[in-house]
Amino acid sequence: MAAIFFGVNGEGLGHASRTLATVDRLREHECHLFTYGKAYQFLRDVGYAPLHRIDGLMFAFTGRRVSYLRTGLAAARFCMAGLRRNLRAIDALADRYRPQVYVSDFEPSVPRAGRRRGMPVLSVDNQHRLAFADTVRLPWFLRCYGLVCGAAAEAMVPRPSHTVVSTFHFDLIRRRRDRVTLTNGLLPTQALAITPPTVGTCWCTCGRA
């Protein structure tokens, strides 16, 4: 049984849900999840272990709108202090568990810890579709937006050994590189085992067709 260190972005629950679907297929290994925010609360509530809390990047809001200024300041604080704390904590656990692979779902600390040790780093997310998307047919402002978002995605997980991109738009991803795999949405085995209802089946609690 190999130890795997898995970094999970804590903003929202999409990253955590995808991670659970991924580790569901790695049951023969010991997957240590490193996360924060809502993802940490969700994974703790479902009873996932081993689970480790770290610092992370989060959106800052003013009312119901994202404040780019406050988000940028929080990101700067994370890069100056939080990232270093994360690396020290991850390195200490790596000395204990000796992970053989480092995986990241859009979380920046775990892949950097893996690269520092010269270990394989795998990226699994949907954000990296922006790094490989064909934007030539888009208006110039959307093309610029895509380039910035793609560069940000690559900065989150720099130079992974392999990248798995979860996407429903295979036809829009043209700039494929070596060591890039495209896949559909990742679902847990419990969801794949569900039989869809036949046409005309009632979804309400009455049980009538």
Rounded Cα–Cα distance for residues 160 and 69 (Å): 29
Sign of the CA dihedral with 151 first, then 156, 161, and 165 last: negative
Q: What is the CATH number of the domain that holds 70?
A: 3.40.50.2000
Asked whether residue 113 is domain-assigned, the answer is yes
Among 84, 86, 105, 82, which Cα is nearest to 94's?
Answer: 86
pLDDT in tens, 97-155: 999 999 999 999 999 999 999 999 999 999 888 888 887 788 888 888 888 888 989 99
Write down the residue that tokens 């997957």 correspond to: 31
> Number of structural domains, the chain?
1
pLDDT in tens, 166-193: 888 777 777 667 788 888 878 777 776 7
Asked whether residue 61 is domain-assigned, the answer is yes
Q: Are 90 and 116 in contact (CB under 8 A)?
A: no
Whole-number pLDDT of residue 209:
41
Question: Would you say residue 41 has pLDDT above 70?
Answer: yes
Write down the residue that tokens 């992974």 correspond to: 160
Which residue range(s) make up the domain with 106? Answer: 3-192
Asked whether residue 29 is domain-assigned, the answer is yes
The pTM for the full model equals 0.86
